[in-house]
Amino acid sequence: MLTKTTLITLPDLPYQLDALEPVISSETLELHHGRHHKTYVENSNRLIEGTDLEGQELLSVIEKSAGDPAQSVLFNNAAQVFNHTFYFKSMKPGGGGEPTGEIADRLAEEFGSYEEFAEAFISAATTQFGSGWVWLVLHGEKLEILKTSNADTPIIHGNRPLLTVDVWEHAYYLDYQNRRPEYLKLWVEKLIDWDFVNSNLG
């Protein structure tokens, strides 16, 4: 049984289950958030219960379990809670396409144009071998596209995440089967929440 000090919770989605259709179906979103994400939350709470990590914030649990082979199962689950929460916030209905605000200027300055960024981001996500994530991060003051495998997350490598796309198969397989590039192209064109990205630059 979880105690009253439990702090790792499943955030509500910032939109309805059918809000991202037709790019991501309500069935995929229900499975992804309501089962996969929920399971990572439940596993994390079960693994910290009764330990000195119980009651600590999620980021603290991730940082303290990272790199410790004895805590690898906890790290994998806790990091996946963070990664999934960030992914769901990276999308919005009617999103995608060319950004506005500070991120528009930064992408043009550092990648040449939005189109060149989008091409590089989709290429990185397409070629990520196996399960994992592709991120737009701030490394120091420089924007970078970063791949992480499995549950790895940029927050333990000194990077500030701005945007992420999930390329684990459960993120897209019901809708696209093995057509990962199609999922990624539509994701970039139709779903990115650039307001969220801009808020992460601050």
The per-residue DSSP string of the chain comes to: ---TT-----PPPSS-TTTTTTTS-HHHHHHIIIIIIHHHHHHHHHHHTTSTTTT--HHHHHHHHTT-GGGHHHHHHHHHHHHHHHHHHTB-TT--SS--SHHHHHHHHHHSSHHHHHHHHHHHHHH--SSEEEEEEEETTEEEEEEEETT--GGGTT-EEEEEEE-SGGGTHHHHTT-HHHHHHHHHHHTB-HHHHHHHH-
In this structure, which CATH number among 2.120.10.90, 3.40.1010.10, 2.60.40.1930, 3.55.40.20 belongs to the domain 102-201? 3.55.40.20
pLDDT at 10 over 70: yes
Confidence (pLDDT) at 148? 98
What integer best gives the mean pLDDT of the chain? 95
CATH architecture, domain defined by 26-89? Orthogonal Bundle (1.10)
Q: Would you call 93 exposed, middle or buried from its count of C-beta atoms within 10 A (0-12, 13-18, 19+)?
A: middle
Kindly report which listed range (2-6, 7-11, 72-76, 80-84) carries the lowest average pLDDT score. Answer: 2-6
Confidence (pLDDT) at 7? 80
* 167, 161 contact by CB (below 8 A): no
Average pLDDT of span 157-182: 97
Ranges in the chain annotated CATH 1.10.287.990: 26-89
For residue 3, what pLDDT band results from cuts at 50, 70 and 90?
very low
Q: Provide, rounded to the nearest whole percent, the portion of the chain with pLDDT above 90.
A: 96
pLDDT in tens, 11-20: 999 999 999 9
Q: Provide, rounded to the nearest whole percent, the portion of the chain with pLDDT above 70.
A: 97
Confidence (pLDDT) at 68? 93
The dihedrals phi and psi of 137, each to the nearest 5 degrees, come to -130, 165
Ranges in the chain annotated CATH 3.55.40.20: 102-201
What's this model's pTM, rounded to 2 decimal places?
A: 0.95
pLDDT in tens, 83-103: 999 999 999 999 999 999 999
The dihedrals phi and psi of 110, each to the nearest 5 degrees, come to -100, -20
For residue 151, what pLDDT band results from cuts at 50, 70 and 90?
very high
CA atoms within 13 A on the CB side of 179: 10
Number of neighbouring beta carbons within 10 Å of residue 156: 17
For residue 6, what pLDDT band results from cuts at 50, 70 and 90?
low
pLDDT at 108 over 50: yes
Q: Which residues contact 11 (CB under 8 A, 6 or more apart)?
A: 85, 88
